């Protein structure tokens, strides 16, 4: 996340409530907003464990 309370945190590690809050407020424009919206869908469906192996250490 490039800004805010969770600056420097990977999108997959953002809390679901934060992404829901952004959904209600309106996701940012552009690539980041699309990624955040997709990450919310992944978390809602319980698929975040599929993302963790793709994260570089």
**What is the structure's pLDDT at 23?**
96
Domain residue spans of the chain: 11-54
- The pTM (predicted TM-score) of the whole model is 0.86
Q: Could you tell me the two tokens for 43?
A: 């978390």
CA distance 21 to 32: 15
pLDDT tens digits for 19-50? 999 999 999 999 999 999 999 999 999 998 99
Asked whether residue 56 carries a pLDDT value surpassing 90, the answer given is no
Asked whether residue 57 carries a pLDDT value surpassing 90, the answer given is no
Count the Cβ atoms, other than its own, within 10 Å of residue 42. Answer: 18
**What is the structure's pLDDT at 55?**
87
Q: Dihedral of the CA atoms 4, 10, 15, 18 (nearest 10)?
A: 40
């Amino acid at each position: 996340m490039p800004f805010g309370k969770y600056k420097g945190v990977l999108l997959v590690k953002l809390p679901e409530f934060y992404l829901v809050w952004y959904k209600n407020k309106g996701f940012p424009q552009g690539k980041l907003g699309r990624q955040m919206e997709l990450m919310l869908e992944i978390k809602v469906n319980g698929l975040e464990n599929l993302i963790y192996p793709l994260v570089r250490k």
